[in-house]
Chain A
Amino acid sequence: DTAVSQTPKYLVTQMGNDKSIKCEQNLGHDTMYWYKQDSKKFLKIMFSYNNKELIINETVPNRFSPKSPDKAHLNLHINSLELGDSAVYFCASSQVPGQGRNPYEQYFGPGTRLTVT
């Protein structure tokens, strides 16, 4: 009964390819996020998105684009993959602030380990 799921769990691909990572949450949350965890274990936000607003971290290259077919899904598309894109990518979701017991608590998926060769 997974709350936040990501597919695939592992992804190995070559430079220059285009790939997507899928994320789904069954918590009824309104906001979803994508994070990148680099080799130093820092987690950095890439995007946050709800029905109304997409907030983009300005350091994220425009090769990365989030796509949300509906409220329960936020997929991450990456074009022209580069070696430096190798990392673990985490999807997360949270309730709209002001609702719920812990409105800012984020629930994380298991991560997708991307390796670009």
Chain B
Amino acid sequence: KQEVTQIPAALSVPEGENLVLNCSFTDSAIYNLQWFRQDPGKGLTSLLLIQSSQREQTSGRLNASLDKSSGRSTLYIAASQPGDSATYLCALYSNYQLIWGAGTKLIIKP
């Protein structure tokens, strides 16, 4: 059974720092992995999608990597800003459904 874990559950860093969020999974047979952002009281926003054949995807200051053999994905955020404060969720896609981690709550201090 696929399980997705995100560590840490919460992270607080000063503005301007580079940071890494982690996502691990137990079964390497995945179709893709997706990173989302959730803002309080708002919906989910898809940030990056990595297909199973890909190693990484980049969008602006965000870079997501995927290592299926080790069951890990990381989301790298460069030069963090207060507007990056949100909960970040990773999810694996298999058989028409997403299997979710519990998220990492990120706070960027001005």
Which residues from chain A sit less than 8 Å from chain B, CB to CB? 31, 33, 40-45, 48, 55, 90, 92, 97, 102, 104-111
Contacts and interface: CB of A to CB of B under 8 A. Distances in A.
Contacts, number: 49
Nearest to B32: A104
Contacts of B91: 43
Interface of B: 31-32, 34, 36, 42-46, 49, 51, 87, 89, 91, 93, 96-98, 100, 102-103
Chain B binding surface SS class: strand
B100 to A, nearest CB: 4
B98 A42 contact: no
17 contacts: A41-B87, A41-B103, A43-B89, A45-B97, A45-B98, A48-B96, A55-B96, A102-B51, A104-B32, A104-B34, A105-B34, A105-B46, A105-B49, A106-B46, A108-B36, A109-B43, A111-B44
B31 to A, nearest CB: 6
B96 to A, nearest CB: 5
Contact of B96 (A31, A40, A102): A31
Nearest to B97: A45
A33 B42 CA distance: 18
A41 B49 contact: no
Contact of B93 (A41, A55, A104, A111): A104
